[in-house]
Amino acid sequence: MAKDIVQGFKASAGAAGIKKNGGLDIALIFSEKPAASAGVFTTNRVKAAPVILSQENIRKGRVRAVIANSGNANACTGKAGLDNARREAELVARELGINPDEVLVASTGVIGTPLPMDRIERVIPGLVKQLLPEGLQGAAEAIMTTDSFSKISRFEGEAGGKPYQILGMAKGAGMIMPNMATMLCFVLSDIHIDSIHLSKSVSFAVKSTFNRISVDGDTSTNDMVLVLANGMAGNGELTSDEYERFQIGLTHVMDTLATMIVRDGEGATKVVYVKVKGAASQEDAETAARTVANSSLVKTAFFGQDPNWGRIMAALGRSNIRMEEGDVHIWVDEIQIVKQGLAVGDDAEKQASKCMAQKEFSVTIDLRQGKHEDQVVTCDLTPEYISINSDYRS
Amino acid sequence: MAKDIVQGFKASAGAAGIKKNGGLDIALIFSEKPAASAGVFTTNRVKAAPVILSQENIRKGRVRAVIANSGNANACTGKAGLDNARREAELVARELGINPDEVLVASTGVIGTPLPMDRIERVIPGLVKQLLPEGLQGAAEAIMTTDSFSKISRFEGEAGGKPYQILGMAKGAGMIMPNMATMLCFVLSDIHIDSIHLSKSVSFAVKSTFNRISVDGDTSTNDMVLVLANGMAGNGELTSDEYERFQIGLTHVMDTLATMIVRDGEGATKVVYVKVKGAASQEDAETAARTVANSSLVKTAFFGQDPNWGRIMAALGRSNIRMEEGDVHIWVDEIQIVKQGLAVGDDAEKQASKCMAQKEFSVTIDLRQGKHEDQVVTCDLTPEYISINSDYRS
């Protein structure tokens, strides 16, 4: 896939036997030149060892490599776990002839089990030898856990007459549940940008994308978004217009990945856009959208194609936002099912149910309390979710 | 069932065709003498019409009757819904020859559909005629929705040499989910007690029972606990010892009902006691227990009999309590699976998995941050939950 290339980046993937099924479970990404970097990390108080190490290394400056494994989260593994993460960085650095501080580490998988360091150690020299510009697709596959497909998204831009690329890969499924599975996202670009502007862009993009598909604070022990920009596009300092376009491009890449994650929600059959408008404040709009989007009863009704707006009203009522029952209007796509807090009627609900038979639809709630709006993307809750998660470790 | 009798109370049940399957869906409870009363009502901002009316009437003083229906929540039904609730109280009052203010109204079922008042009107005279001391069992059945069994619990006490009864009935299933289904509970006693002491006892009992099986604030539009005490036991003013024993008895009755509700959790196969000790504050203990007990991933692991303590750690980590990963200890029943934040080992997990094969087991978390503890009772999350809730209205 010649398209999945970014100037100056190489990648490789391997099977270290961390996953029980013997599949690809380790990926290496390498930048020929030291890259400006920025990251967003889990806010969970229980942070996996690779999160602690990568936070530390990203603060130190330029980054050259990312080593990531699936099958084992290296979380709740204590001091030995942190030593293992450091050891991974050292092994990669030694083979690549770089500094261990220039290596970021990411892990996803089962919590509480030590990394099989002997096997990882054995596989790293091969990963370095196999580094190729075309290796990014394989890397995207190697970080998958319960994902049913690999996730890559791209954007092409221009700055100072020089074309540049942004390529993102992510793993994650089911994070739209009240407990999210680990989400990893690596974005690579050859744009030349300073770390401060890069960090700002990343915070902005994450806020309106990945943070809109998960419950506030419901972060796993291992979540991270890492963005590397190696400057090999050769552009000069970005004008404010160019910077803005880069931000849009980065948001586009993350938005596409975030929607892929929802679509790949564990056992999900539908993607639902929960839109709230007319909220009294931005916070109310967000809280209302999140509460509805994360309600197990609402999500189960989505699965059943049941426009059960009573559950939406009940979720709004317990979300602690400013609202008046008699002011609420609700639509499924273009079909209004609630008018001033009351049912529009059976015909409307029958039509709404037809909309809900689609793979994607929207639910719009107008609170009529103010001018603020927000959106959270969610999926339906299905029996398949239970079966995926009840035997995840076995 | 001669046991399910409380002096001075009569009840009856009927089928008004509110439920589609034609089953019992309306219940009447009557007290021969005006009863002291106390209630706890949903905190949801969207309150069903019967909640609004019963809150109003309970403030006015003594109560003579409760009319309750299943199959229709009379929620999100606007002014017409409130008129219907009042009309129900009036119809009951007229037939019984009492004041409409002395009638409490409760509903549970589908939200947003008008009550079929013609059918309810037709059935009320018969309900009054059929009132019997032995009618409480039938009433408990008539208020069921997704419940798989009716729930009655009792306590016998003595005050001033006079024996008294406390009998409670409840409906509810699945309220241990992030969104709780409606919970109705009616408790009847022939004890003589003033309204102030009764209210205090009810608040105390609800706090440590029903509020420990649901998520804080995750109340439905229709939840209510109503307690009536008609004084027919003939005891005098309660001594502080007697009052305390009544409080214990009332708590026992509610605790039994609450556990029945968990056991009847929609599709649940296991009851799990999530105990947190060593918390830095009472609030931390409660928050930790609730977050773990309501985690979909943890509840799904319960179903899979997987002692997946990583999910417990991740839930603790996002619950925003004071904790140190390396201080956490976790047990399943008596089997320790986590010691100082680390796995005890495969053997321990195998034993823990055997404990989890039981219908009831406990998960104990010691945070080692302080002396506070709390417990939340929960159930497992199963594929059956989805199928119950995806076609609830059809």
Residue A179, pLDDT score = 47
Same domain flag for A372 and A234: no
Q: Which span out of A207-211, A306-310, B229-233 was modeled with the highest average pLDDT?
A: B229-233
Report the share of chain A in percent with pLDDT over 70. Answer: 94
Same domain flag for B121 and B235: yes
Residue B262, pLDDT score = 83
Q: Please provide the DSSP assignment of B156-220 as one string.
A: EEEETTEEEEEEEEEE-SSTTSSSPPP-EEEEEE-----HHHHHHHHHHHHHHTGGGSS-TT---
- Considering CB atoms only, which of A76, A315, A317 is closest to B325? A76
Query: Is B100:B86 a contact under the CB 8 Å cutoff?
Result: yes
A392 pLDDT band, cuts 50/70/90, is low
Does B98 fall in a domain? yes
Shortest distance between the Cα of B71 and any Cα of chain A, in A, equals 14
Same domain flag for B327 and B306: yes
pLDDT tens sequence across B116-160: 999 999 999 999 999 999 999 999 999 998 888 999 999 999 999
Residue B282 confidence (pLDDT) above 80: yes
Please tell me the least confidently modeled range out of A125-134, A169-178, B311-320: A169-178
Same domain flag for A187 and A304: no
Structure-token pair, residue A45 = 């108080």
Same domain flag for A152 and A288: no
pLDDT, averaged across chain A: 91
Does A26 fall in a domain? yes
Residue B174, pLDDT score = 59
Does B316 fall in a domain? yes
Residue that terminates a domain, selected from A231, A263, A295: A263
**Residue A167: which CATH number?**
3.60.70.12
Residue A364, pLDDT score = 98
Nearest residue in A to B313, CA atom: A46
Residue B181, pLDDT score = 64
CA-to-CA distance for A71 and B83, rounded, in angstroms? 59
Number of residues written out for chain B: 394
Same domain flag for B85 and B189: yes
A178 pLDDT band, cuts 50/70/90, is very low
Please indicate whether, in this complex, the C-beta atoms of B179 and A295 are within 8 angstroms of each other.
yes
B345 close to A (CB below 8 A): no
Return the C-alpha torsion angle B216, B221, B227, B230, nearest 10.
170
Domain tally for chain B? 2
Which one, of B85, B15, B21, lies nearest residue B49 by Cα? Answer: B85
Same domain flag for A257 and A275: no
Which one, of B230, B187, B196, lies nearest residue B8 by Cα? Answer: B230
Shortest distance between the Cα of B378 and any Cα of chain A, in A, equals 15
- Considering CB atoms only, which of A46, A73, A390 is closest to B317? A46
Residue that terminates a domain, selected from B263, B286, B304: B263
Does B3 fall in a domain? no
pLDDT tens sequence across A232-291: 999 999 999 999 999 999 999 999 999 898 888 777 888 899 999 999 999 999 999 988
pLDDT tens sequence across A21-31: 889 999 999 99
- Enclosing H/E stretch for B229: strand B224-229
Pairing assessment for the beta strands A329-332 and B9-14 based on DSSP bridges: unpaired
Residue A174, pLDDT score = 59
Q: Please, where are the H alpha helices in chain A?
A: 49-60, 78-96, 117-129, 136-142, 195-208, 240-263, 282-293, 296-303, 309-318, 346-355, 383-390
Query: Is A333:A270 a contact under the CB 8 Å cutoff?
Result: no
Handedness of CA A376, A379, A380, A385 (dihedral sign): negative
Please tell me the least confidently modeled range out of A37-51, A93-107, B237-251, B261-275: B261-275
Average pLDDT over residues A88-100: 97
B58 close to A (CB below 8 A): no
Average pLDDT over residues B333-356: 96
B1 pLDDT band, cuts 50/70/90, is very low
Quick check: ipTM above 0.90? Answer: no
Residue A321, pLDDT score = 95
Residue of B182, B219, B259, B291 with catalytic role: B182
Question: Which residues span the domain enclosing B307?
Answer: 271-390
Please indicate whether, in this complex, the C-beta atoms of A387 and B382 are within 8 angstroms of each other.
no
Residue B215 confidence (pLDDT) above 50: no
Residue A378, pLDDT score = 87
pLDDT, averaged across chain B: 91
Give the number of other CB atoms < 10 A from CB of residue B148: 13
Residue of A108, A182, A209, A364 with catalytic role: A182
Q: pTM of the prediction? A: 0.81
Residue B127, pLDDT score = 97
Does A305 fall in a domain? yes
Give the number of other CB atoms < 10 A from CB of residue B55: 15
pLDDT tens sequence across B225-259: 999 999 999 999 999 999 999 999 999 999 999 98
Query: Is B191:B159 a contact under the CB 8 Å cutoff?
Result: yes
Does A3 fall in a domain? no
Residue B271 confidence (pLDDT) above 70: yes
pLDDT tens sequence across A340-382: 999 999 999 999 999 999 999 999 999 999 999 999 888 888 8
Same domain flag for A219 and A306: no
CA-to-CA distance for A169 and A149, rounded, in angstroms? 11
Same domain flag for A16 and A147: yes
**Better pLDDT: B211 or B322:** B322
Amino acid residing at A370: G
Residue B175, pLDDT score = 47
Q: Which of residues 65-84 of A touch B (CB under 8 A)?
A: 73, 75-78
Same domain flag for B228 and B298: no
Residue A379, pLDDT score = 86
pLDDT tens sequence across B105-125: 999 998 899 999 999 999 999
Same domain flag for B202 and B338: no
Residue A181, pLDDT score = 64
Amino acid residing at A46: V
pLDDT tens sequence across B168-182: 999 987 544 444 568
Shortest distance between the Cα of B73 and any Cα of chain A, in A, equals 10
Residue that terminates a domain, selected from A263, A280, A307: A263
B218 pLDDT band, cuts 50/70/90, is low
Does B277 fall in a domain? yes
Does A1 fall in a domain? no
Same domain flag for A201 and A308: no
Residue A2, pLDDT score = 46
Residue A347, pLDDT score = 96
Give the number of other CB atoms < 10 A from CB of residue B353: 18
Q: Is A182 a catalytic residue?
A: yes
Residue A385, pLDDT score = 72
Query: Is B191:B157 a contact under the CB 8 Å cutoff?
Result: yes
**Residue A345: which CATH number?**
3.10.20.340
